[in-house]
Structure 1
Amino acid sequence: MANFRFKALEIAQSRQALPVTPPAERVGDYYGSNTFNNEVMRALLSPEAYLKITEAIETGGRIDREIADEVANAMKAWAVSKGATHYTHWFQPLTGETAEKHDAFFDITMDGKAIEKFKGGALVQQEPDASSFPSGGLRNTFEARGYTGWDPSSPAFLMDNGAGGKTLCIPSVFISYTGEALDYKTPLLKALAALDKSATAVCQYFDRNVTKVTATLGPEQEYFVIDKALFYARPDLVMSGRTVFGHSPARGQQLEDHYFGTIPPRVNAFMVDFEFEAMKLGIPVRTRHNEVAPGQFEVAPTFEEVNLAIDHNALLMDLMEKVAEKHNFKVLFHEKPFAGINGSGKHNNWSMGTNTGVNLLAPSTKPKESLRFLTFLVNVVKAVHDNADLLRASIASAGNEHRLGANEAPPAIVSIFLGESLTKALEDLEVKSEISLNKGDNVYYKLGINRIPSLLRDNTDRNRTSPFAFTGNKFEFRAVGGGANSSSTMIVLNSIVANQLNQFKQDLDARLAAGEKKELAIVDILKKYYTDTKRILFEGNGYSDEWVEEAARRGLSNIKSSPEALEVYLKPESLELFEKLGVLSHAEVESRYEIELEKYIKKVQIESRVMGDLAMNHVVSTALKYQNKLAETARSLVDLGMTEEAEPVKDLIREISRRVLTIKNNVHEMTETRKKANNLGNTADTAKMYATDVKDFFDVIRYEVDKLELIIDDEDWPLVKYREMLFVK
């Protein structure tokens, strides 16, 4: 029987790019065509219903059941006219995936006839089985009832099921029978409401016309693609989403030739196809390019309101996986699917905007606007400084643990990059009580080439090694993992900023009550905030060993383990922050901590099991067969009187024996250690033991396996190699 690896390679190498046809000539003709958007509502709803729905979306007000009935009828008519046969509440449980339960648009009458039916009650609320989703102890297994509830601020959309028609998907929250949040969306909406309230209150000191502040987000999504045949020839990719073995190829990313390089035709066809489908769903994807590592790519959207942006990112990931199947690809969102090359992040570009059209993180040269900008900038810096460990906890996962601090992604140390101009402005504020934001820093380059138009230099450089970097008019949190739901981070970020803005208002009101002039009081408060928090600002190379040492001298945390990072959620100050803002109760925070620990344990456990399986049933068995071939060769050489020539062959046999023995012993010890961890009876202790004792075996076993890959004949090696997975497209 031929090596399965070579069969997979033969299939992968025979594939061609699929033709992709645009839905229409112009993007505007199909953008949002599969969403129940504002235009559709205006056309199908009565003026009264449309007004109430839009007011509810803008103000967060309640929608009564009569209006819900009218919206449901309009949704049904629209969806059915476009080929939908079913509807579902589309929600985001704490599994990290999206969930849906499809119901048909019909009912049976008393006389046995089928009629189309979709009422306001079905739109507003559904009842999935809550016992089958993670609850972290909030629900017992036998307590099954849970509810999903319509989120009108995120447009309903049609998901094409291929040959099975279309389904109307209704973005929803997910709560337990007793009212606790069992999803990402519910606390996110509460955190965004808290930020709106606190930021609007601060804006009132500068502009009374501001009545609403909206947090915006643009999540850049990095990912790998691999041919489907090669994917299924790697059990570790199938089981865990990453390769547990694989020797680095001679050529990886060291030539720096893949970044922004020509997109391979098959990959480009896949990109174009999923972009067309994304545009139909109102997902504003606008950027595509090769990333740094071979086989790695990125898609980036236009900024949107945070809740909508996260819904769109979750939907986009699901969409990409479905379209990839059509193109015979598999998409890998894992943070570190391949060792030795860059992993994948989800860079969260975050800002705040007012209902008057002002970006609160956009610098200005006008004195009043400059003071407002610095007020929000410094408060964000202080919020991150005071809650750096909590922000670190929000990105903790088994996958991201492989990526953070690997000289390819931001370190586990949370620091902030502001750039030379802003840092100088804050230093002037601290020393001279002066605001010196100068747009004159934006200059044109003089290239001396007449045909090249003048190029404008921004007033702030970029620092790709910083976890939390200011990039001109927003902050980019680069440490979020590629496979993560950004809600975890956005819940924390918006909550800590809301809390800090509340503190600023309290500090300022106290000074104003004492008779101080507003502008002078604001400057004095900002000076103190900056002095107290400037240790978190860092302009240099976040990948360097020197920064790790410098950060330690500054007293900044460097939490490398996910279980250790997650413990921050249970600190009294963390529990108090979420509760006083009304974002999460103590019980809800504690449940999420338990869920994340359990998720961590299960993922590392799966990696450990697949590593043991591959090592013993694929690698060791292959090594022993190859060793027998070498033994026959050595005997033949000795029989021919070529004793000296046989020695190198014997050396290889001895080396294989040593490495096989090391693998066998360590796999056994890893399995026994895993059993001990599972029997500890405490989730936190089990997670910590997996993070240390169990994972300690990973590198040892991998080293020996990867060395055997270099020894064993390529014709015999059973696992698809890195050079094949990364370069066969």
Structure 2
Amino acid sequence: MCEFSARFGCKVFSDEVMVERLPRPIYKSLKHSVDDGCPLEPDVANVVATAMKDWAVENGATHFTHWFQPMTGITAGKHDSFISPQEDGKVILEFSGKELIKGEPDASSFPNGGLRNTFEARGYTMWDCTSPAFIKEGTLYIPTAFCAYTGEALDAKTPLLRSMEVISKQALRILRLFGNTTSTRVISTVGAEQEYFLVDRKNYENRLDLKICGRTLFGAKPPKGQEMDDHYCGRIRLRVGEYMRQLDTRLWELGVTSKTKHNEVAPAQHELAPVFESANIATDHNQLTMEMMRIVAKQNGLACLLHEKPFDHINGSGKHNNWSLSTNDGMNLFNPGKTPYDNVQFLIFLCAVIQALDKYPELLRVTASSAGNDHRLGANEAPPAIISIFLGEHLTSILQDIAEGSAHTEEMIGMFETSVATLPNLPKDDSDRNRTSPFAFTGNKFEFRMVGSSASIAAPNWVLNTIVADSLEEFADRLENAKNFDAEIKSIVADTMHNHGKIIFNGNGYTEEWVEHAEKLGLPNINNSVDAAKAMIQDKNVEVLSRFGILSDIECHSRYEILLENYAKTITIEANTMLEMVKRQILPAAMRYAGDIAASYNELAASGIQNAAMKKHLDKLSSMIDCISQMTEMLEAELEASGSVDFLVTAQNCRDKIIPQMNNLRDCVDNLETITSAEYWPIPTYTDLLHRV
């Protein structure tokens, strides 16, 4: 076995490790909890904790942490050592089942949307035994859920775990109706393609906006961006290639199945894609991936940018959430087979997705909402803000024929002929790919392309699980009570196409014609996060989430408040960062440059030379400095006036007043950059950042 294969998962308390270290009855009991969702007995937890501690210490760990995902979008955890002081002044290493199962971080110090007051600090982390523990930087990381003392979910993992139980229950009802008696669970599976930028660390450190905000708040268009289409899947630079090699190695040790790496469209932009795994583990692994990307970048003198729009004028970064459903015995429920028309079970699951997205488009849209992603969605680099589904003409025609009662003739897709003797002829896929679609069927899965590159994938997947479960529940009720099973199936397909077929769109989502047509169809076009947040308190959404036990009414309202607070805080931080950069870097440099030009002009004038070009340049510099000064004062005034006790009003003020003024200030600064000598300009330019890695 090659070395990297042997080291895969070497820092994970994996199934293989558990088989080796746990007594067989304990292992079986733990697997029963993992596979069937049963509570873990205390005596089992104690044995597992001891084995986990021994394994971790042997592999260099000195501490453990309950690793959780609060509603900050990133992870958290406090680190405790294994040492336990003894009366003789020495220590022993201990780790109990109680410590494994439960932790107690401060619940009022994380975003909670009013669920916790400052004086109500108690919260709990609870071991998620379905996601394996691992060792990172000398600490045993134990994946956990995080909830308040009063029981409400304060994290991204809890609603995801709830939704996975819900989708499994409803999908199994459908499978039983089609005669499947062997599958015991249905698992939502995910593969999250992660886009990112790499820039030189020194240039990053010299950009306050990148360090504080993760994106450039100023920057004139560089001479060369992505116009030549030469970066996508092009040669990977040596420095970047070494970074990717080290990143793969670190991720493989942690059990992350990093599979694909390549250059993306924009200069300095790249992508990593893993192999599919359960939605819960995929979410944990994506958080790990983002953390390791930053760590390995810093170790290599680079900085990894995960913001959705770190640079103007070029493509931003997304995270394609590839979602599917599979049984525990390996059946992909979205595999259409060779003849989709005859695969009735597949068509029922397909209709469940179609109905779900048309009933709850706002709820799915809000999972891709953030101040950063607002810069990206709707541009010709990402899907539009309108939820639609791409199925391809072949699948669409099958559904239409069934809905209309027409006879369907399976078309021979045929072969793709290269007309080159040495190249193989390949079978054609059922449809082309549509990169403009926000939600595209791609063979045996759906690719949700709206998610931002810095976001957790938990929310998109607990929403998908829940809304599709809602459709499956309705279909199962209908089929279980049907007098004629086959006729009811055709009726479900017909009802889906007649009532929800408008959500299917196989064309170019970038065109204005589609935006206008979508409006006529009644499809919501929500182009900013402030408006998108309303979905969390929309009656139909609260009803479906509370009915399935994913989020209660109060939990929905808390997330609504958190979304708006995060938006307003993000914009405010960016505006204040702009002001600091202008006052302490850009204006002083510009004035110094203008002063030196003026001194040179006066020297020439004193010698009798009137240089018109120099005078014209000086006048332009002076005018731009005045513009920057004026826009700075106006931005400061908007910031002072924008605060409100109402979080919705504050967010709206940020969107409608502060952002436009930030854009005005940026225009002035970017224009100034284009006429300022490089030796005076105080921050690295786009050329420095994008073309010097």
- What is the TM-score when the length of structure 2 is the normalising length? 0.98
Q: Tell me, yes or no, if structure 1 residue 487 matches structure 2 residue 458.
A: yes
Give the C-alpha shift of residue 286 in structure 1.
0.5
- Residue by residue over 1:239-295, the C-alpha shift from the partner in whole angstroms, topping out at 9 and shown as x without a partner, is 100000001111100000000011111111111101111111110010000000000
Corresponding position of 2:33: 56
Quick one: which of 4, 7, 10 aligns to 1:33? 10
Whether the aligned pair in 2 keeps the contact of 1:227 and 1:728 (CA below 8 Å) is: yes
- Residue by residue over 1:430-485, the C-alpha shift from the partner in whole angstroms, topping out at 9 and shown as x without a partner, is 223556665x32x3222221111223321121111110011111000000000000
Quick one: which of 61, 77, 80 aligns to 1:100? 77
Q: Tell me, yes or no, if structure 1 residue 202 matches structure 2 residue 154.
A: no
Specify the SS of the correspondent of 1:271.
helix
Q: Tell me, yes or no, if structure 1 residue 80 matches structure 2 residue 31.
A: no
Q: Tell me, yes or no, if structure 1 residue 659 matches structure 2 residue 596.
A: no
Whether the aligned pair in 1 keeps the contact of 2:177 and 2:480 (CA below 8 Å) is: no
Quick one: which of 669, 674, 684 aligns to 2:648? 684
Give the C-alpha shift of residue 530 in structure 1.
1.1
Corresponding position of 2:556: 589
Quick one: which of 514, 529, 546 aligns to 1:547? 514
Specify the SS of the correspondent of 1:173.
strand
Whether the aligned pair in 2 keeps the contact of 1:370 and 1:437 (CA below 8 Å) is: no
The whole-number CA distance in structure 1 between the counterparts of 2:561 and 2:253 is 38
Corresponding position of 2:128: 151
Quick one: which of 586, 592, 600 aligns to 1:625? 592
Relative to structure 1, is the Cα distance of residues 437 and 308 closer, same or farther in structure 2, using a 3 angstrom cutoff? farther
Corresponding position of 2:151: 179
Corresponding position of 1:21: none
Quick one: which of 20, 39, 45 aligns to 1:68? 45
Structure 2 counterpart of 1:593, one-letter code: Y
Whether the aligned pair in 2 keeps the contact of 1:659 and 1:704 (CA below 8 Å) is: yes
Corresponding position of 2:568: 601
The whole-number CA distance in structure 2 between the counterparts of 1:298 and 1:248 is 23
Q: Tell me, yes or no, if structure 1 residue 358 matches structure 2 residue 331.
A: yes
Quick one: which of 668, 676, 686 aligns to 1:704? 668
Specify the SS of the correspondent of 2:343.
helix
Specify the SS of the correspondent of 1:461.
coil
Structure 2 counterpart of 1:662, one-letter code: C
Whether the aligned pair in 2 keeps the contact of 1:89 and 1:100 (CA below 8 Å) is: yes
Relative to structure 1, is the Cα distance of residues 249 and 57 closer, same or farther in structure 2, using a 3 angstrom cutoff? same
Whether the aligned pair in 1 keeps the contact of 2:174 and 2:476 (CA below 8 Å) is: yes
- Residue by residue over 1:147-200, the C-alpha shift from the partner in whole angstroms, topping out at 9 and shown as x without a partner, is 1110000000010x2xxxx11110000111111111100111001111111111
Give the C-alpha shift of residue 367 in structure 1.
7.5
Whether the aligned pair in 2 keeps the contact of 1:370 and 1:435 (CA below 8 Å) is: no
The whole-number CA distance in structure 2 between the counterparts of 1:654 and 1:686 is 39
- Residue by residue over 1:538-562, the C-alpha shift from the partner in whole angstroms, topping out at 9 and shown as x without a partner, is 1122112222222222221111121
Whether the aligned pair in 2 keeps the contact of 1:508 and 1:525 (CA below 8 Å) is: no
Corresponding position of 1:19: none
After TM superposition, the structure 1 stretch with the greater mean CA deviation from structure 2, 669-678 or 573-582, is 669-678
The whole-number CA distance in structure 1 between the counterparts of 2:174 and 2:633 is 60
Identity %: 42
After TM superposition, the structure 1 = structure 2 runs for residues 325-364 of structure 1, keeping only pairs within 5 Å, are 325-364=298-337
Q: Tell me, yes or no, if structure 1 residue 714 matches structure 2 residue 678.
A: yes
Structure 2: any 5+ residue segments left out of the alignment?
none
Corresponding position of 1:610: 577
The whole-number CA distance in structure 2 between the counterparts of 1:436 and 1:198 is 32
Structure 2 counterpart of 1:156, one-letter code: A
Give the C-alpha shift of residue 662 in structure 1.
2.0
Give the C-alpha shift of residue 630 in structure 1.
2.2
Quick one: which of 246, 253, 265 aligns to 1:273? 246
Specify the SS of the correspondent of 1:668.
helix
The whole-number CA distance in structure 1 between the counterparts of 2:46 and 2:546 is 35
Structure 1: any 5+ residue segments left out of the alignment?
1-23
Whether the aligned pair in 1 keeps the contact of 2:186 and 2:325 (CA below 8 Å) is: yes
The whole-number CA distance in structure 2 between the counterparts of 1:212 and 1:50 is 20
The whole-number CA distance in structure 1 between the counterparts of 2:299 and 2:558 is 38
Structure 1 counterpart of 2:606, one-letter code: D
Specify the SS of the correspondent of 2:84.
strand
After TM superposition, the structure 1 = structure 2 runs for residues 383-532 of structure 1, keeping only pairs within 5 Å, are 383-434=356-407, 440-441=412-413, 443-510=414-481, 512=482, 515=483, 517-532=484-499
The whole-number CA distance in structure 1 between the counterparts of 2:575 and 2:324 is 40
Whether the aligned pair in 2 keeps the contact of 1:480 and 1:486 (CA below 8 Å) is: yes
Relative to structure 1, is the Cα distance of residues 123 and 249 closer, same or farther in structure 2, using a 3 angstrom cutoff? same
Specify the SS of the correspondent of 2:337.
coil
Quick one: which of 106, 115, 122 aligns to 2:92? 115
Q: Tell me, yes or no, if structure 1 residue 318 matches structure 2 residue 291.
A: yes
Give the C-alpha shift of residue 412 in structure 1.
0.8
Whether the aligned pair in 2 keeps the contact of 1:365 and 1:437 (CA below 8 Å) is: no
Whether the aligned pair in 2 keeps the contact of 1:206 and 1:368 (CA below 8 Å) is: no
Give the C-alpha shift of residue 505 in structure 1.
1.9
The whole-number CA distance in structure 1 between the counterparts of 2:355 and 2:193 is 25
Q: Tell me, yes or no, if structure 1 residue 264 matches structure 2 residue 237.
A: yes
The whole-number CA distance in structure 2 between the counterparts of 1:448 and 1:208 is 45
Specify the SS of the correspondent of 1:558.
coil
Whether the aligned pair in 1 keeps the contact of 2:297 and 2:303 (CA below 8 Å) is: yes
The alignment of Structure 1 onto Structure 2 pairs a total of residues equal to 692
- What is the TM-score when the length of structure 1 is the normalising length? 0.93
Relative to structure 1, is the Cα distance of residues 89 and 38 closer, same or farther in structure 2, using a 3 angstrom cutoff? same
The whole-number CA distance in structure 2 between the counterparts of 1:716 and 1:519 is 76
Specify the SS of the correspondent of 2:143.
strand
Q: Tell me, yes or no, if structure 1 residue 131 matches structure 2 residue 103.
A: no
After TM superposition, the structure 1 stretch with the greater mean CA deviation from structure 2, 498-507 or 229-238, is 498-507
After TM superposition, the structure 1 stretch with the greater mean CA deviation from structure 2, 225-234 or 202-211, is 202-211
Whether the aligned pair in 1 keeps the contact of 2:340 and 2:395 (CA below 8 Å) is: no
Q: Tell me, yes or no, if structure 1 residue 305 matches structure 2 residue 278.
A: yes
Relative to structure 1, is the Cα distance of residues 308 and 223 closer, same or farther in structure 2, using a 3 angstrom cutoff? same
Relative to structure 1, is the Cα distance of residues 435 and 216 closer, same or farther in structure 2, using a 3 angstrom cutoff? farther
Specify the SS of the correspondent of 1:398.
coil
Structure 2 counterpart of 1:724, one-letter code: D
